[in-house]
Structure 1
Amino acid sequence: MKYENWLKDFNSKKMTRRSFLESTGKTAAFTALGFSLPAIKSVQAEEAPIFSAYPFTLGVASGDPLSDSVVLWTRLAPNPLAEDGNGGMDNRYVPVEWEIAEDEQFKKVVRSGKEVAGPELGHSVHAEVFGLKPWREYYYRFKAGTELSPIGRTKTAPEEGDHLKSLSFAIASCQSWTGGRFAAYKNMAQEDLDVVFHLGDYIYEKGNTETLTDYRLLHAQYKTSQDLQEAHLAFPFIVTFDDHEVDNDWANDISDPNFPEGERERFLAIRAAAFQAYYEHMPLRRRSKPNGPDMLLYRKFTFGDLAEFSVLDTRQYRDNQVGTGFPGGPLDPEASNPERTIMGSEQGAWLINNLSRSRAKWNVLAQQTMMAQYDYDTGDGISVNHDQWDGYSADRDRLFEFIKRRRPSNPVVLGGDWHSSWVNDLKEDFNNPKSETLATEFIGTSISSGCGWKDKVEEALSVNQHVKFFDGDYRGYVRFHVTHKSWQSDYRAVSSASDPNAAASSLASFLVKNGKPGAIRIGGIDVSNIVAKTMFSGKPNPVLVDLSNGTEKAVKVKVGIKVAKEWKCEFKNIVLEPGSTTTVEFMVTPPPRMPVAEKLSLDIKAGKTPIYGVARELYAVSVPSSDELVLALDSGGTSSPILPSYARLSPDDKWDEAKGYGWIGTVPEFRDRNKLDELQRDFTLSRNGTTILRLKVPAGIHKTSILTGDATFSSGNTIIRSESNLLGESGEELTPGQFKWITFDLDGGALGREIDLEITGALKEGFWRIVSLIMM
């Protein structure tokens, strides 16, 4: 089976996270894990292997770029989610050829070789390719038997000390599984980048994740994401782990609360399994191959004379956390104990040595958690998150003292972990806003993981003046463009993490000038909100857009909606004065005499002035007016507002012949999200069996449409049958705020008749939703 066909086949299976985890289970107890990662011995490999299916289902990747070398990765897995964790491979050794070329057609192959993929490392391949030219783009692929892998693109680093004009890269972190679709990665793959740094939480363990099989299955599941594979195909990755690759909040040989102090040996066995699976699925060099529960992951990457990156491991060597509370708790006195460390003494000395010897213009710490202090207590006390550098402030103080004394060129700290976007001034004294800014910190939001604590952060922003920017609403990545004169950070975010068609836009951009620590926000036109209530078909309907001008000059702005041929939209031209905010109203006309649910995109132009904000798309819902309809129902709560001229369909509406509609037998529930408008705010829903809605259908054939979706949460599918015959269904899972019409014909015959609609759902625990029902 070829790669494209396999992806189509896999995506069609609709395997949910719950069903996947329930179908796996553990195949060995922790006592069988052992503490030494096996090496592949010299063996006789098959010369012409035959696979049960396409073996490159997990894609390919490259990483750890040096000036003359990269590592190429793949793993043979014809059945990636096989319950034994072996990816559908037998206990055999398979030769895997690789080649690397200067062109995508492989007419100029510059290096080639063969690796043996064996069961000891899950049939993964880590080919270290040397003899390459510095700062050069290459293409690579693998071959096993008669099967060819997808073609990946990679790039070497420049020679250390060579003059490099610019570097473009991105950071990513925290990608909880959301059905395998990562909108951020789909967008990232289209960027013009030289390299990507992944700063941790590549997978999320579960409470019962303990064995090598468990971890292999999780990594394999994540690697089946088409969006993630596209990003790996496009760029070399430099990776480091955080906690969820092993266990939540683990520290050195301790993982509380899952494995208390008395079970350290058990946790170390689990850590060894997690490390092995991590290595098996990452483009890492052999020097990072774990030895049981130990893995060398901190390392240095130099990009000419422009930037040097010290990639840290702040989990494996840290002391255990102190303090309590989430997201913050009262500052524990032990947090500042000079004996406590987040890096460990050896890694700490290595980092200081890197900074001392560096001749690069920018010196970057790529690491996991937030380094800046953040006080969640708005009163006289101090409340911090002890899992971050606030719980290990002596290490931070030692680093800051070195920066102040030795003045390495332009120190910048990158981080993730906190599922939100931050720009922080790293101060000599965080409790004194007037103290010197020693470095700049950029924290990237998550690829897909939510930030349930954003309100707690926002409540305390006023007492943390060193925080220059925070956003906890959106998922995405940070894109950087670095020159000798400046460092630019663009916070790229998507409107929905799980909608693969969601486009990324810049939430905000910041600039750091050479020799001047501290970020300056780049001014532009900010789009903060876009709103449209339920529209009426064939009539002009208002769309409201909130705009503000963050520049020091007046800006001409043209704003409207990109619409399909059947739609109409007026455009407004306005002038925004410096520092001003306004709401622009313009009219959009959906197609006449038909219901529509469609994603619309904002069309906004402001000349050369940059435009920021994620509010660029909305799901528009239109309905015919009730005087064009035989039946017009707004489904939802028993007393919530309904769309004007529409009738209510609530759980209380049992079949009533006079009204011509109602429930038969078991009645549904309702939910009211109290957002958007009268029609879209609420709906009826149920699961576990079939719910019957009876309709009185007049004579003749009548086009009937049911609107499904959820203003706040993702929703499963809604399936409509009558007399066990399928009438229509909504199809795939819908993202938050997305609605869809299900349209079908009902035949009332010559005299009219009653028809029972049988309503069920098959996704998201079987819940169906009805927002509206119309009959024409």
Structure 2
Amino acid sequence: MIRQPNRRHFLASGLAAAAVWPMLGSVRAAQFETDPFALGVASGCPTPSGVVLWTRLIFADAAPSPADAFSFAPAPQFPPIDVAWEIAADEGFARVRQSGIVTADERLAHSVHVQVEGLEPDRWYFYRFRAGDALSPVGRTRTAPAAGAENGRFSFAFAACQQYEQGWYSAYRDMAGRDLDLVVHLGDYIYEKSYGAGHVREHGTGAPSLLFEYRDRHALYKSDPDLMAAHAAFPWLVTWDDHEVVDNYGQDASPTDRRPEAFLRRRAAAYQAWYEHMPVPPLAAPSFEALRIYGHHRFGSLLDVTLLDTRQYRDPAPEAPQPAEMSRYTMLGAEQEAWFDRTMQESKAKWSIIGQPTLLSSRDLELGPGTRYSDDGWDHFRSARGRLLNSLRSADRANPVVIGGDLHCFYAADVKAEDQTLVASEFVTGSITSNAPSASAFETVMAENPHLRFGEARKHGYCLMHVAPDQARVELVAVSDRKDPAASAAKFQEFVVLDGMPGVNRV
């Protein structure tokens, strides 16, 4: 239950700030013993006129008892709570531009998703929430440039693969201090499983399979102060990979759940928990048996970002498909493929950023004359990759740049079609924390794949992309030691892609 507040805890935040908020009736009613905004705030999906604001209320005694995992008893119930929000043109909230009240309830874990409209394009804004006697941290966000605006620059970070136990999130502390317009997260935001040695912290529970377990896992990751700082500093775009559900799953198939109907229940729980913790638009009628997350995001005339979902719709291709069968199999599903083709035809931005969770380029894993490919990536769906590249070629996109994650290595690659035509440039970010592949496996990859122009498997961090009309410049940023909570971060390599000339160039 919600208890009487700890007055000392909230004097400097909620209660002391009450004077600057209007009387909001039921919003003031709740009183909290601990900070309900302990997971911070976030924003996402910016448009020229708006943005999505997110938070989730957390209660002191919300954690289920250990018996719940066996009895399937429901988690403790909490009443609906009215949450006020406001977004202002200044950090002191003297120039409030929009405000409102939403109700957070147990149905969606007391998460809040607010679709704000009526803002000016290409502007910084500040936002906050209030529930009862508690005031949230202040977040900062930015709207997209207007459609067709001749914006001359745009900078964003992209990141992936942040296994909580294997390192600290120092990379996000560095990211939060950068001058950026956006962050793109390319999947493996949480990890459902524990693996590896030398952990710096622990999940504390086994692999989740039920809704409350996925909620707890997301809340654990979200509680990291460096990750919270990066969310509060910029708007985010997000897609997922496999660890948000279970390692190496695809559509209704999982290596660890042999019955599709049981796995789909688990997948729905994981999708719901993901939605509850991400700054994505509110759902009019939530249903998590399926959840569309792919989308197209425009940022003036300079660039657009197209995010793909390579997990929910992929075919469960056989272990060793015959060439005649390959054309049937898809990573994206027929509907998403058709949507991507239309989107590429219709978009007119100078730079087209295609965000998807892994490496699009081929990657031979066997040393010598033979070939061996991963069965969990695009190499197992080569015809599907060909269709995606054909969409880019037929649309005559001037500057397609593919970004990805998943492999726990930094890569810079020339993306080539089956006929060896150079189609796009590609950059894969190393992991925030997740363990790298073995040195021998990585060396084989670099020896066998000359189109992978650069690779680095020993470092952990993220990538920055600075887009201008004449070039896209990519910086690879690494932390000094992922297992040091006070680690520093610095650029260790830089590349440039020139306007109208696909292919990566080391600076």
* In 2, Cα distance between equivalents of 1:114 and 1:505: 42
- Cα distance in 1 for partners of 2:62, 2:428 equals 33
**Corresponding residue for residue 233 of structure 2:** 234
Q: Retained in 2: the 8 A contact 1:143–1:149? A: yes
- Match in the other structure for 1:281: 277
**TM-aligned CA deviation for residue 409 of structure 1:** 1.8
What letter corresponds to residue 503 of structure 1 in structure 2? S
| CA displacement, residues 118-149 of structure 1 (integer Å, 9 cap, x when unaligned) | 01000110011110111110000000012110
Distance across 1 between alignment mates of 2:114 and 2:277: 13
Structure 2 residue aligned with 1:369? 358
Structure 1 residues 265 and 118: alpha-carbon distance in aligned structure 2, compared to 1, 3 A threshold: same
In the superposition, relative to structure 1, how do residues 502 and 140 fare at CA in structure 2: closer, same or farther (>3 Å)?
same
Mapped partners of 1:334, 1:453: distance in 2: 31
Question: Counting strand residues as a fraction of each chain, which structure ranks higher?
Answer: 1
Match of 1:152 among 111, 126, 139: 139
Check whether the contact 1:74–1:124 (CA below 8 A) recurs between aligned residues.
Answer: yes
CA contact (8 A) 2:410 2:430 kept: yes
Q: Which stretches in structure 1 are left out of the alignment for 5+ residues?
A: 7-43, 324-330, 523-776
In 1: Cα distance, 2:62 partner to 2:184 partner: 27
Match of 1:143, SS state, is strand
Q: CA deviation at 1:406?
A: 3.5
Kindly provide the amino acid, as one letter, of the partner of residue 249 in structure 1. Answer: N
TM-superposed deviation, 1:335: 9.6
| Aligned counterpart for 2:64 among listed residues 60, 63, 83 | 83
CA distance in 1, matches of 2:299, 2:207: 41
**Contact 1:142–1:149, Cα closer than 8 Å, also in 2:** yes
Structure-2 change in CA distance of 1:460 and 1:71 (3 Å): closer
1:317 matched residue in structure 2: 313
Which structure 2 segments of 5+ residues have no match?
11-24, 194-205
Deviation, structure 1 residue 80: 8.0
**Contact 1:46–1:93 (CA under 8 A) maintained in structure 2:** no
Residue in 2 that maps onto 1:457: 442
Which secondary structure does the structure 2 equivalent of 1:376 belong to? Answer: coil
Q: TM-score, normalised by structure 2?
A: 0.88
The alignment status of 1:246 with 2:245, answered yes or no, reads yes
Distance 1:380 1:288, change over 3 A: farther
The CA distance in 2 between the partners of 1:377 and 1:105, in whole Å, is: 58
Give a deviation string over 1:706-760, Cα, whole Å, max 9, x none.
Answer: xxxxxxxxxxxxxxxxxxxxxxxxxxxxxxxxxxxxxxxxxxxxxxxxxxxxxxx
Q: Is the 8 A contact 2:352 2:397 kept in 1?
A: yes
Paired residue total = 471
Higher mean displacement: 420-429 or 445-454:
445-454
Question: In the TM superposition, what is the alpha-carbon distance from 1:47 to its structure 2 partner?
Answer: 5.2
Letter in 2 for 1:70: V
- Counterpart secondary structure, 2:365: coil
Which of 244, 257, 260 pairs up with 1:259?
257
1:425 is matched with which residue? Answer: 414
Indicate yes or no: 2:221 matched with 1:222: yes
Name the % identity: 41
Within the candidate set 109, 115, 127, 2:102 is matched to 115
Q: Counterpart amino acid of 2:478?
A: A
Q: Secondary structure at the match of 2:497?
A: strand
| 2:182 corresponds to which of 195, 208, 211 | 195
Residue 503 in structure 1 maps to residue 488 in structure 2: yes
Moved more, 388-397 or 373-382: 373-382
**Aligned equivalents of 1:395, 1:143: Cα separation in 2:** 47
Q: 2-side partners of 1:3 and 1:175: how far apart?
A: 36
**SS in structure 2 at match of 1:384:** coil
Alpha-carbon distance between aligned partners in 1 of 2:338 and 2:428, rounded to the nearest angstrom: 24
Counterpart position of 1:380: 369
Give the alignment of 1:481-630 within 5 angstroms.
481-522=466-507
Q: Distance in 1 between matches of 2:105 and 2:183?
A: 28
Aligned letter for 2:133?
T
Cα gap change, 1:289/1:503 in structure 2, threshold over 3 Å: closer, same or farther?
farther
CA RMSD of aligned residues (A): 2.4
Displacement of 1:404 in angstroms is: 3.1
In 2, are the aligned partners of 1:275 and 1:290 still within 8 Å (CA)? Answer: no
Q: 2:41 aligns with which of 60, 63, 68?
A: 60
Q: 1:172 & 1:181 partners in 2: Cα distance?
A: 14
Q: Counterparts of 1:294 and 1:334 in 2: how far apart (Å)?
A: 31
Which amino acid in the other structure matches residue 312 of structure 1?
Answer: L
Counterpart CA distance in 2 for 1:227 and 1:284 is: 20
Query: Per-residue displacement from partner, 1:386-412 (whole Å, max 9, x unpaired)?
Result: 211101111111122233343212111
| Paired residues of 1:67 and 1:135 also in contact (CA < 8 A) | yes
For 1:493-514, what per-residue CA distance to the aligned partner results, in whole angstroms no more than 9, with x for missing partners? 0021132321111121000000
- What is the distance in 2 between the residues matched to 1:193 and 1:320? 38
Where does residue 18 of structure 2 map in the other structure? none
- C-alpha deviations, 1:153-181, integer Å up to 9, x for none? 00010112111110000101111113883
Is 1:289–1:296's contact at 8 Å kept on the other side of the alignment? Answer: no
1:452 CA displacement: 2.8
Contact 1:186/1:500, CA 8 A, preserved across alignment: no
Partner of 1:170: 157
- The 2-side partners of 1:109 and 1:402 are apart by 44
In the alignment, residue 211 of structure 1 is paired with which amino acid? L
Shift of 1:385: 1.0
Give the direction of change, closer, same or farther, for the CA distance of 1:76–1:287 in structure 2 (3 Å limit).
closer
Please point out which of 152, 169, 172 is paired with 1:185.
172
**Paired amino acid for 1:71:** V
| Cα distance between partner residues in 2 of 1:163 and 1:342 | 35
Q: How far apart are residue 5 of structure 1 and its match?
A: 6.8
Q: Is the 8 A contact 2:359 2:405 kept in 1?
A: yes
Q: Are the equivalent residues in 2 in contact too, given 1:173–1:202 (CA < 8 A)?
A: yes
Q: Distance in 2 between matches of 1:408 and 1:135?
A: 25
Instruction: Say if 1:335 and 1:393 are closer, same or farther in 2 by CA, change over 3 A.
Output: farther
2:90–2:126: 8 Å Cα contact kept in structure 1? yes
Separation in 2 of the partners of 1:145 and 1:300? 37
How far, CA to CA, are the matches of 1:82 and 1:451 in structure 2? 33
2:164 partner SS: coil
Amino acid at match of 1:351: F
CA offset digits 1:406-453 (Å, max 9, x no partner): 321211111011111000100123xx7xx3311001101111101133
Distance 1:491 1:322, change over 3 A: farther
Query: Structure 2 CA distance, aligned partners of 1:2 and 1:473?
Result: 46
Instruction: Report if the CA contact (8 A) 1:180-1:224 is conserved.
Output: no
Distance of aligned partners of 1:236 and 1:87 in 2 relative to their CA distance in 1, 3 Å threshold: farther
Please state how far the C-alpha of 1:381 moved relative to its aligned partner.
1.4
Task: Decide whether the 8 Å contact of 2:171 with 2:461 is kept in 1.
Answer: yes
What is the Cα deviation at residue 91 of structure 1?
A: 2.3
1:289 and 1:371, CA in 2 relative to 1: closer, same or farther beyond 3 A?
A: farther
Whether the aligned pair in 1 keeps the contact of 2:330 and 2:381 (CA below 8 Å) is yes
Q: What amino acid is the match of 2:63? A: A
SS of the equivalent of 2:151 reads coil
Report which of the two structures shows the higher radius of gyration computed on alpha carbons.
1
Q: Which amino acid aligns with 1:398?
A: R
1:355 to 344, 349, 353: 344
Match of 1:125, SS? Answer: strand
Q: Secondary structure at the match of 2:172?
A: helix
Q: Where do 1:694-733 residues align within 5 Å?
A: none
Whole-angstrom CA distance in 2 between matches of 1:148 and 1:88: 25
Asked if 1 retains the 8 angstrom alpha-carbon contact of 2:186 and 2:239, the reply is yes
**1:50–1:454 CA distance, 2 compared to 1 (3 A):** same
Q: Find the aligned partners of 1:399 and 1:251 in 2 and give their Cα distance.
A: 19
Distance in structure 1 (CA, Å) of the matches to 2:84 and 2:225: 23
1:343 to 329, 332, 335: 332
Amino acid at match of 1:244: H
How much does 1:483 deviate? 0.3
Kindly indicate whether the alpha-carbon contact (under 8 Å) linking 2:167 and 2:433 is maintained by their aligned counterparts in 1.
Answer: no
Q: Is the 8 A contact 1:180 1:225 kept in 2?
A: no
Question: 291-300 or 134-143: which moved more?
Answer: 291-300
Give the corresponding residue for 1:416: 405
In the other structure, the counterpart of 1:94 is 81
